[in-house]
Amino acid sequence: MMNRKRVIALVLCLGVAFVLAASSVFILHEADHDCVGEGCEICANIAATVRLLRGFALMGAIILSLFAALLAIRKCRRAAARQTCPTLTPVGWKVRLNN
């Protein structure tokens, strides 16, 4: 079951990467087209593609910042766990028992 989920996640990631690459190629290919002025379909498609890329960039920035915050929280918790209070036993207090 886990293997199937990983394959689906990989296919989705590759699909998103393909969409981003194809969008960039489209913009590069059509950047110097012969514009007919107002109502140019190519200019409208380029504007839509730029909006798509900006949306993915914003989403990626949000995901990256959440990931960084989670890593920072995990690091703080590990540091706090290392600084545990010493156990309150005679051995912890280094009391010498001479009976």
pLDDT at 90 over 90: no
Q: Tell me, yes or no, if the pTM score tops 0.75.
A: no
With respect to residue 95, please indicate whether it lies within any of the assigned structural domains.
no
**Cβ within 8 Å of residue 19, ≥6 positions away:** 52
High-pLDDT (> 90) share of the chain, %? 15
- C-alpha 28/C-alpha 54 separation (Å) is 16
Would you say residue 94 lies in a domain?
no
- Is the per-residue pLDDT at 84 higher than 70? no
Residue type at 99 in one-letter notation: N
In a domain, 96, yes or no: no
20 or 11: which leads in pLDDT? 11
Which residue is it, tokens 């920035």? 61
CA distance 43 to 31: 9
Confidence of residue 1 (pLDDT cuts 50, 70, 90): low
How many domains does one find in the chain?
Answer: 1
Domain limits for position 23: 2-82
Beta carbons within 10 angstroms of residue 76's beta carbon = 10
Q: Indicate the pLDDT class of residue 76, thresholds 50, 70 and 90.
A: confident
For range 65-85, the mean pLDDT: 81
Residue 8: the pLDDT is 93
Cα distances (Å, whole numbers) of residue 16 to 9, 37, 71, 82: 11, 32, 25, 41
